[in-house]
Amino acid sequence: MIDQDRPIGFIDSGVGGISVLKKSIRQLPHENFIYYGDSLNAPYGSKPLEEIQRLTFAAIDYLLEHKAKAIVIACNTATSAAVHLVREQYPDLPVLGIEPALKPAVESTNGGSILVMATETTLKERKFALLMDRVAKNRRVIKMSCPGLVELIEDGKANSPETYDYLKAKFDSIAIDDVDAVVLGCTHYPFIRCNLRKVIGPKPKILDGADGISRHLEKVLTTRDLLSQRTDFGEVL
């Protein structure tokens, strides 16, 4: 039987997955966590598919060496590129991936367009096409690739005028009055929420997948009898 107090491993291509980790700590305060942020190789979104897969498996190996009882790939790009391969190689290991919050966007809006900001890899992979087909068949989905945005966030410029100018240029050609929701399809992007709101105004909802993955993580741990029974707070290792 697996020790229930072993840590839950989180992977991202840098600091972005911290936004997901924080939600999971609030959802599961008695769990231990270990975070692998690969800022050295960020961003993943512009890399070849095979390289993203190699980097993802290197992160998985690190977390397993540290006795992770479950893995959260808290990176949309790595999820799109590699989650299916990780599950094939480790069939007994709970492996959760994150996907753009397209379903909540559809369910919480009234028929207008939904804009998805993400990396090039996330938007072009078959996994995203299947997601669109499954939950947004009758909605107009605008795909916005954001090269260079992860680098700004990794450099600590999420709230800077430089990032505001970047976003302003990206949205200049968008009829924002027709957009009901903006989906943050990269776990780095919640850090630019303040600048994004300044650019798009008050009308569109802004959604990300962190809440959904945290709830799903609790459900998976409970189902597999891996939920920690400790009463004191856990640690981030």
pTM, full prediction: 0.93
Cβ contacts of residue 15 below 8 Å, gap of 6+? 37, 39, 153, 154, 188, 191
- Distances in Å between the alpha carbon of 81 and those of 66, 75, 96, 143, 146? 24, 10, 13, 18, 17
Three-class secondary structure assignment of the chain: CCCCCCCEEEEECCCCCHHHHHHHHHHCCCCCEEEEECHHHCCCCCCCHHHHHHHHHHHHHHHHHCCCCEEEECCHHHHHHHHHHHHHHCCCCCEEECCCCHHHHHHCCCCCEEEEEECHHHHHCHHHHHHHHHHCCCCCEEEEECCCHHHHHHCCCCCCHHHHHHHHHHHCCCCHHHEEEEEECCCCHHHHHHHHHHHHCCCCEEECCHHHHHHHHHHHHHHCCCCCCCCCCCCEC
186 is known as an active-site residue = yes
Q: What is the pLDDT of residue 237?
A: 86
Q: What is the pLDDT of residue 137?
A: 87
Annotated domain spans of the chain = 8-98+211-224, 102-208
Q: Is the dihedral of CA 213, 215, 221, 223 positive or negative?
A: negative
Asked whether the beta carbons of 142 and 116 are under 8 A apart, the reply is yes
Same fold, 8-98+211-224 and 102-208: yes
State which fold the 8-98+211-224 domain adopts. Answer: Rossmann fold (3.40.50)
CA distance 181 to 155: 27
Residues of the chain with pLDDT under 50: none
Q: What is the pLDDT of residue 1?
A: 64
From 186, 192, 200, 227, active-site residue: 186
State which fold the 102-208 domain adopts. Answer: Rossmann fold (3.40.50)
From 28, 55, 75, 116, active-site residue: 75
Q: What is the pLDDT of residue 2?
A: 76
Tell me the two tokens of residue 177. 């009055």
